[in-house]
Amino acid sequence: MKKMNLLGMMACLLFPDLYAQHQIKFDVPNPLAETPAWGGENASVSAGDAVVNPDKHWEHTTLPIGNGSIGANIYGSISAERITFNEKSLWRGGPNTSKGAAYYWNVNKESAHVLKDIRQAFQDGDTQKATELTQNNFNSTVPYGSADEEPSRFGSFTTCGEFRITTGLADTDVTGYSRTLSLDSALVNVDFISDGIRYTRTYFTSYPDNVMVIRFKASEAGRQNLVFSYLPNPVSTGKYIRKQKGEFCYSARLDNNKMEYAVRVKAVTEGGKSWTDGNGAIHVENADEVMFIVSADTDYRMNFDPDFTDPKAYVGVKPLQTTEQWIRQAALYGYDELLDRHYKDYISLFGRTEFELNTSYSSAADLEKLSTPKRLERYRTGAPDYGLETLYYQFGRYLLISSSRPGNLPANLQGIWHNNVDGPWRVDYHNNINIQMNYWPACPTNLAECELPLIDFIRTQLKPGSVTAKSYFGARGWTTSISSNIFGFTTPLRDKDMSWNFSPVAGPWLSTHVWNYYDYTRDVDFLSSVGYELIKGSARFAVDYLWHKPDGTYTAAPSTSPEHGPIDEGTTFAHAVIREILLDAIEASKVLGIDEEERQEWEKVLAGIAPYKIGRYGQLMEWSKDIDDPSDEHRHVNHLFGLHPGHTVSPVTTPELAKASRVVLEHRGDGATGWSMGWKLNQWARLHDGNRSYTLYGNLLKNGTNENLWDSHPPFQIDGNFGGTAGVTEMLLQSHMGFIHLLPALPDVWHEGKLTGVRARGNFTVDLYWKDNNLTKAVIRSGSGVPCSLYYKGNKLEFETEAGGVYTVLLSDGKLKLDI
């Protein structure tokens, strides 16, 4: 035991944040499942069937780790550790299925000519005809369910398999059990005592080295007697091609599209011995300590300019070579250096932002000792736990860092974590809010680098999306539809239910993120070389898609309010998105000093879009006709897009529309699925109502959060985590209206706190401090040297800045003043 204490002290000295306050804790081990979740009837499931995950423990009590490319869930079982494993590009579907590229790409209906008939039907008051024409012409031939065609073109994100590590220990007579995820270090630790011996396990995934590392130790030498085995994806065909001493490589191809993937594992032992048996399992005998290094890759390559005739347009990596390179280099580093490289990389992102609330609260120290499920149970009774609220906030940042790093695909519906062959909604990229919500916290919480995978993904939509725009709308530019995969899919799906399968402005919504990234970073080179093409293409599409009515107004006909209600001649949601992208395009062209003539067209169209309308209940209308139902508590609040994430509705500039938005939120209520409560939290914050925002944040934690703090739709869907983190930031800092608004929606219960290292538009970094519900100090760091405009409780302060300058602002006699 003295040896373990010394090692623990050394770890704290070398890595002082490894065991800091941000921990998700469990005090009981997970039971070991005899078969993985994909066994038997669960090999392939439709979206509806996948709502109930057959593996409840995976969704509720495992702990996730990831580096944006590979991810894993740690169970922490005793007799045999179980680890589900993912590689984010392991997808079925795409142009390399057996029926080839033409079968994949030639799916857009040539429907643009039907638009005139739809619009004439609206003009004639025949909404039934307009609806039928839209339903029959604005879908495609591609079904969504993986089991609905063979081979499935759309495909699905799929598991990379599971690892089992048998230990020879009994599940009974274990004491002192602890399983923790340290957000401060991105480390999972499992610790317990069995038969008087303390066993410890540590898990992390390294972004700089692109490997997963697992270490098994004990308080006595020679206690590691382990068997490490791999259970591959069951809808793939592969073999162990290399079985050297203490390592293996499994090489396989998915049955659906022949995507090649490789998984390598190497055991590095201190003491004892290791070998690999004929079935590929690694055996460790009487070792003092064991480090397993895991690498995985696929042959997928991201392609911004795919050749539509080439079935291998998204093939270009050799996973056998990449995985060998990564694992060999990692083994040379050794455990301590791998941990050091991982920690320094991770903390450089996570450590930028600190969030504390009511630290003098008397029970805070006691609450930190409780397991996370017990804290949640207590919180659900109404007992305060401000540490849990800050933990959830930082967990969202942890999940984004872990599932979205430069050079990789963006976070999907479950981030990077999945435990089945198929899953909820194909575990895809949903473009009608879900992928967008994933990235709401990126720039505001100082993780702009984590948004780059989203922008790369948008770039993959550009060329295929230009075909979709022309085929369906006769439009220039590009757009995409409700669901996307990693192979450039931009087409509507086969279903005729247009309430969910028709969202023409999905592309423009995505492009608003491109401008948002620029607005936070003020990276003109990015805007010029990458961003503007995406924004301009979306603006062109929006202009061409709009119907220039005989009365001179522009409306989005036909359009929908995603997943809710009828086909309409101009939904509030579609108009709000188009306003946003046109405003972005106008500003982008001004920044770059180009396209003045086209900018004038954008300005003209923008001015002519049908205005927002207030209905008979005082509500912001969702459709062109006043058909809103005040008893409707639907989860989507699409028509408030202009309030959030847009900026064309605000208490500052449009108080009547803001009031009407409040009526909508009152009607919809404070409950919903997890992600929906996350969206409404952001909307209440934009209305500057801190107490109501806090109610939504509390409801999200109480009713939309699993024991491991994963968001629950249900099932697990990661966007609610990101929406919650973004919403808290909006409560405390806003910058979308041309100034930095300090503490715009501070709830009464958060009477004391600090939020440091968050970002505001204009490339400012802001530290906030408050006490007795009043701002005490703000520190502004200017990244680009642009003028700074602050606002707090009716007080404005404007001052010039220099790039790299630091400016302290104090509240004196109720007024903001620079501390010079």
Q: What is the pLDDT of residues 344-398, one digit of tens each?
A: 999 999 999 999 999 887 577 789 999 999 999 999 999 999 999 999 999 999 9
7 pLDDT higher than 90: no
Q: What is the SS3 assignment for 435-465?
A: HHHHCCCCCCCCCHHHHHHHHHHHHHHHHHH
Q: What is the pLDDT of residues 770-797, one digit of tens each?
A: 999 999 999 999 999 999 999 999 999 9
Residue 653 is predicted with a pLDDT of 97
Average pLDDT, integer, range 319-342: 97
Residue 243 is predicted with a pLDDT of 75
193 pLDDT higher than 60: yes
Rounded Cα–Cα distance for residues 125 and 569 (Å): 10
More confidently predicted of 242 and 531: 531
pTM (2 decimals)?
0.97
40 pLDDT higher than 80: no
264 pLDDT higher than 50: yes
Lowest mean pLDDT among 242-246, 503-507, 579-583, 778-782: 242-246
> How does residue 2 score in pLDDT terms, banded at 50, 70 and 90?
very low
Could you tell me how many residues make up the chain? Answer: 820
Rounded Cα–Cα distance for residues 801 and 784 (Å): 8
Q: What is the pLDDT of residues 742-761, one digit of tens each?
A: 999 999 999 999 999 999 99
Residue 362 is predicted with a pLDDT of 59
Domain coordinates of the chain in residue numbers?
Answer: 2-30+63-93+158-326, 102-143+386-729
29 pLDDT higher than 70: yes
DSSP string for 661-690 = HHHHHHHH-S---HHHHHHHHHHHHHTT-H
Q: What are the phi and psi torsion angles at 107 (to 5°)?
A: -125, -5
Task: Note whether 654 and 648 are within 8 A (CB).
Answer: yes
Measured at the CA of 302, the angle between CA 297 and CA 304, to 5 degrees, comes to 175
Q: What is the pLDDT of residues 445-491, one digit of tens each?
A: 999 999 999 999 999 999 999 999 999 999 999 999 999 999 999 99
Cis peptide, bond prior to residue 406, ω within 30 of zero: no
Mean pLDDT of the chain: 94
Cis peptide, bond prior to residue 645, ω within 30 of zero: yes
41 pLDDT higher than 80: no
More confidently predicted of 819 and 18: 819
Residue 283 is predicted with a pLDDT of 97
Q: Give the class (CATH, top level) of 102-143+386-729.
A: mainly alpha
Rounded Cα–Cα distance for residues 787 and 468 (Å): 42
Average pLDDT, integer, range 323-331: 97
Q: What are the phi and psi torsion angles at 85 (to 5°)?
A: -135, 140
Q: What percent of the chain has pLDDT above 90?
A: 91
State the chain's maximal CA–CA distance in angstroms.
Answer: 85
Name residue, tokens 């620029």. Answer: 518
817 pLDDT higher than 80: yes
Residue 32 is predicted with a pLDDT of 86
> How does residue 43 score in pLDDT terms, banded at 50, 70 and 90?
very low
Average pLDDT, integer, range 190-195: 97
Question: What is the sign of the dihedral through the CA atoms of 180, 343, 317 and 154?
Answer: positive
More confidently predicted of 146 and 316: 316
Rounded Cα–Cα distance for residues 773 and 397 (Å): 25
Task: Note whether 517 and 531 are within 8 A (CB).
Answer: yes
Measured at the CA of 739, the angle between CA 735 and CA 743, to 5 degrees, comes to 60
48 pLDDT higher than 50: no
For domain 2-30+63-93+158-326, the CATH architecture is Distorted Sandwich (2.70)
Residue 20 is predicted with a pLDDT of 56
Do 102-143+386-729 and 2-30+63-93+158-326 have the same topology in CATH? Answer: no
Cα R_g (the chain), whole angstroms:
27
Residue 683 is predicted with a pLDDT of 98
9 pLDDT higher than 60: no
> How does residue 36 score in pLDDT terms, banded at 50, 70 and 90?
confident
4 pLDDT higher than 50: no
Residue 309 is predicted with a pLDDT of 98
Instruction: For residue 744, give every residue at least 6 positions away whose Cβ sits within 8 Å of its Cβ, in sequence order, or none.
Output: 685, 688, 690, 730, 731, 732, 733, 734
Name residue, tokens 């990015």. Answer: 526
Scored b (16 or more CB within 10 A) or e, 353-385 reads bebebbeeeeebeebeebbbbebbebbeeeebb
Name residue, tokens 């999200």. Answer: 700
